[in-house]
Amino acid sequence: MDESDDSELSGLIRKHATMYRASQELESSVRTEITLQAAAGRRPIWFLARHWPIWRTVGIGFGFGIVSTVLAIFMLGQPGESSVLERELVSSHVRSLMVSHLTDIASSDQHTIKPWFQGKLNYSPPVKDLAGEGFPLIGGRLDFLNGRTVAAIVYQRHGHLINVFIWPDSSNEHRKQTTGQGYNLLKWNVGNMQYWAVSDLNDIELKTLPSLLR
């Protein structure tokens, strides 16, 4: 198989083998497709791998769409007005433990604390010493929650601090128990007062508090 052999064979192929040509239809359909793509603002994306199949791009787009839809539904469904409040309550509780501002008035005497709130709030929060029931009163504090100044009464149970936030609100009388960032939250109403207890105390012991404060 020398050079002349090769060139003879080459000549035979070049002369006789079929050269297929793209049809006019193919050319115009390619042109149309590109015009459509360009008109649709479909910019070339060359940062993807060259052999990245189109269906994979479509698939990823689809997947992304589904995930973001689910996320959107989840997030829209989750944080209503109440959970914003819940987050505020937890933050307030955490802050009260952090910045050594647990109480504005430290006293285990309810008769000291209750008058202290007078002139600071336009309502009188119920304060009760529950030392006999195992919830000694630690003190009281003013806090800012839900766009208003509220009373925070601090109790303790086996070393766990409990913030009980109280303000007048009878719009929603449902009892509620929930958690946020590992803290237990309990909401209840007495009269026209809304109570929110926040603590790292277990929820069973925390649940005894509403009846004691009645």
Partner 1 sequence: MAYARDFETLVLPHLHAAFNLARWLVRDDPVAEDMVQDACLRAFRYIGALRGRDARPWLLGIVRNNCYTWLEEQRIAPGQVELDEHLIDTLASPVHGQEGDPCAALDRKHTRQLVDTAIRNLAPPFREVVILRELEDMSYAEIAQIASIPIGTVMSRLARARAELRISLATLMEGRGNG
| Minimum CB distance to partner 1, residue 6 (Å) | 6
Size of the site for partner 1 (CB under 8 A): 36
Nearer to partner 1, 37 or 172 (CB): 37
Residue from 105, 162, 171, 98 nearest 130 by CA: 162
Member of 12, 60, 66, 72 binding partner 1 (CB under 8 A): 12
| Minimum CB distance to partner 1, residue 63 (Å) | 20
- Give me the DSSP letters along the chain: --HHHHHHHHHHHHHHS------HHHHHHHHHHHHHHHHTT-----SS-TT--HHHHHHHHHHHHHHHHHHHHHHHHS--HHHHHHHHHHHHHHHHHHTT-S-SEE-S-HHHHHHHHBTTBSS------BGGGTB-EEEEEEEEETTEEEEEEEEEETTEEEEEEEEE--S----EEEEETTEEEEEEEETTEEEEEEESS-HHHHTTHHHHH-
Member of 14, 56, 95, 214 binding partner 1 (CB under 8 A): 14
| Minimum CB distance to partner 1, residue 62 (Å) | 18
Q: Restricting to residues 28-57, which ones interact with partner 1 according to CB under 8 A?
A: 29-31, 33-35, 37-39, 42-46, 48, 50-51, 54
| 98 interacts with partner 1 by CB under 8 A | no
Q: Are 147 and 156 in contact (CB under 8 A)?
A: no
| 2 interacts with partner 1 by CB under 8 A | no
| Minimum CB distance to partner 1, residue 3 (Å) | 11
| Minimum CB distance to partner 1, residue 34 (Å) | 5
Nearer to partner 1, 10 or 83 (CB): 10
State the residues that interact with partner 1 by CB under 8 A.
Answer: 1, 5-6, 9-10, 12-14, 16-23, 26-27, 29-31, 33-35, 37-39, 42-46, 48, 50-51, 54
